[in-house]
Structure 1
Amino acid sequence: MEKNIGKTDRIVRAVVGVALILWALTGGPVWAWIGIVPLATAGISFCPAYKLLGMHT
């Protein structure tokens, strides 16, 4: 997999992912566990949706 997520995008994804997971852990809605997705994509620097759309950040 080639990296298609830039530094700023990675930081934003990581912050949003952690915030959503913390919200879920503190009694937020079940859907807040979706924060795992941006956190994982930030960790591997690859986003399948970007690949499909031909995007790089």
Structure 2
Amino acid sequence: MFTKNVGSVDRILRIVIGALLVLGALMGYGVWMWIGVIPLVTGFMSSCPLYSIFGMSTCPLNKN
């Protein structure tokens, strides 16, 4: 369904940073921290729509 274009290191960073931002939002540090949902979701899906638009990939399987 989605093209995998997020590599393992990129994926781990997205999940960790996204989770920390969402945790911060839940703890009341600011509504803007809900932006962490985006890297969290793209990390779990291993697919980034912006990478697709710009033709980028950090996934070694898709590099030619």
Gaps of 5+ in 2: 59-64
Cα drift, residue 27 of structure 1: 1.1
After the TM superposition, which segments of 4 or more aligned residues of structure 1 sit over 4 Å from their partners?
Answer: none
RMSD: 0.6
Per the alignment, residue 15 of structure 1 pairs with 16
Identity of aligned residues (%): 51
Q: Which residue of 2 aligns with 1:32?
A: 33
Which whole-Å CA distance do the structure 2 matches of 1:23 and 1:29 have between them?
7
Radius of gyration: which is bigger?
2
Q: Distance in 2 between matches of 1:55 and 1:5?
A: 9
Gaps of 5+ in 1: none
What is the alpha-carbon distance in structure 1 between the residues aligned to residue 25 and residue 9 of structure 2? Answer: 24
Cα shift at 1:2 = 1.4
Report whether the alignment pairs 1:46 with 2:53. no
Q: Could you tell me how far apart the structure 1 residues matched to 2:42 and 2:21 are?
A: 14
Aligned residues: 57
